[in-house]
Amino acid sequence: MFLGIDCGTQGTKALLLDASNGRVLGQGSAAHTLISGANGRREQDVTQWTTAFATATRAALTDAGVDGREVLGIGVSGQQHGLVTLDRDGRVLRPAKLWCDTESATENAALLDWLGGEQGSLERLGVVIAPGYTVSKLLWMKAQHPALFEQIAHILLPHDYLNHWLTGRACAEYGDASGTGYFNVRTREWDLSILRHIDPSGRLEAALPELIAPDKAVGRLRPEIAGELGLNPDAIVSSGGGDNMMGAIGTGNISPGAITMSLGTSGTLYAFAEQPRISPQSSVATFCSSSGGWLPLICTMNLTNANSVIRELLDIDLDQFDVLLAQAPIGAEGVAMLPFLNGERVPALPQATASLHGLTADNLTRANLCRAVVEGVTFGLRYGLDLLRESGIRSERIQLIGGGAKNPLWRQIVADMMATPVVCTMHSEAGALGAAIQAAWCHARQTDTPASLAELCQRCVSLDEATAVEPEAVAVRAYEQAYRRYRGLVSATYGQQAPPDLTTVAQ
């Protein structure tokens, strides 16, 4: 029995997996809240994560009706790019800045300029640093909180921090490290000179966690944590990883040929690659995977969060939202939304704001607003799919995960907009499932070096064919027109930063 934890923006999910037969025995969850500011600040108090970890774990154990002392291993999936800083006594210095925080956009621009622009960043790191990446948060902290900056003894990502809380060790693995902005994805090594540029004293490089491979254990549970959580004190804690890397494992996306799309707070698309083929498109991040390869990926900053804003504006619940969504036609009778509430990464518009277009006295309806926001956020993923396919990624089917994947109409919209068949995995909480599978892999490797991750995924990951949908030809053509309008609006509003005219999926 293995415990998978997924610590996301909106909450923490726990999942108990019997790795011998692939059965999910129990699940639990607990919510988080955000610290937000009009300047793009998006932060969280890390005590929310540990409290939610404990709550979700107890709920999963209760749901399964099992004794936590039977758990052999724990894997942690965490939201990428966040910055957690500790002092020499292990105290957290300030709230964690999250992946969706754009307060450090100015610092990111300065660092990108120092690297030689997008091309220089690609040549040096294999990725183009973006405002959400960890590195600019360090430079921001130096400028805004210099006294706290001087106390930094450990620099951790969110999942690294939870592993540290569980074991007392500070470690990182290649996949999550890929999104820091001070890691070379080709060589799988820290790029120390970038940190020396921020602070020549060398303190930042000394604060980096030890890099370990994805099939290695961070350590065993601290006795006091095992007692608090009701878990086996001999349980191992695997390397864990970023939510997208764990989602890839949790959808069996560990060999070429699959594309996973996640409809969560953010939207992500990723595929497995055996070599680090770096895309010339800056929005494609060729991160390391947590399964031994690479994970070309695009991420949008806005997805279900934008839907939630419209629901709150209209004072409707999720069921009412779905009813209204179904009432509006494709294109929402001309109502269009650029849903850049948190700025945007794809297209690269970190300081953009959201906007509504095409409103008239006749089309300004609740149904059209609901349709416009869903179409707007999904167009960003369509743009990302174009970029992935331009870089050589191919797939005959999209595997859909995340909360939005549970909506049948949204699944059909995705299939039509991408002109590609869509299917959900049996367990939509792929991050938590992937973390549990990775923990089982790590545990097996301790006594059986050739233990296969592929065999574990084959046993534990399955598709839910009842959710499968095919694109409808009439809808595909209609969405192609609506997508071109979206691109035109981005171009008219933001000029040169608009998406290029790529070969369309329909062609």
Which residues are annotated as catalytic? 243
CB 333 within 8 A of CB 478: no
Q: How far apart are CA 381 and CA 378, in angstroms?
A: 5
Please state, in angstroms and rounded to a whole number, the distance separating the CA atoms of residues 404 and 55: 24
Residues 118, 113: Cα–Cα separation, whole Å: 8
Give the whole-angstrom CA distance, residue 47 versus residue 25. Answer: 27
Q: What residues are paired with 190 via a beta bridge?
A: 183
Question: Which tokens hold the place of 178?
Answer: 């890929």
- Rounded Cα distance between 265 and 440, Å, is 28
User: In this structure, are strands 236-238 and 217-220 parallel, antiparallel, or unpaired?
Assistant: antiparallel
Strand-pair category, 42-44 with 96-97? antiparallel
Q: Are 3 and 75 in contact (CB under 8 A)?
A: yes
Using CA atoms, how far apart are residues 223 and 387, in angstroms rounded to an integer? 48
SS3 29: strand
* Interatomic CA distance for residues 389 and 192, integer angstroms: 33
Q: Which two tokens stand for residue 274?
A: 């055996």
Contacts of 500 (CB under 8 A, 6+ apart): none
Six token digits for residue 295: 């994970």
DSSP class per residue in 30-98? EE---EE-TTS-EEE-HHHHHHHHHHHHHHHHHHHT--GGG--EEEEEE-TT-BEEE-TTS-B-SPEEP
Q: What are phi and psi of 452, to 5 degrees?
A: -100, 125
Stated as kind and residue range, the H or E segment containing 313 is helix 304-314
The rounded distance, in Å, linking the Cα atoms of 185 and 393 is 18
The neighbouring-strand residues paired with 349 are 344
Angle at 305 between CA 360 and CA 36, to 5 degrees: 110
Cβ–Cβ < 8 Å for 316, 327:
no
**Angle ∠(262,266,271) on CA atoms, nearest 5:** 40
Region for residue 252 given its phi and psi (left: phi exceeds 0; alpha: psi -120 to 50; beta: otherwise): left
Report the distance separating Cα 174 and Cα 288, nearest Å. 6
Nearest CA to 177 among 52, 294, 300?
A: 294
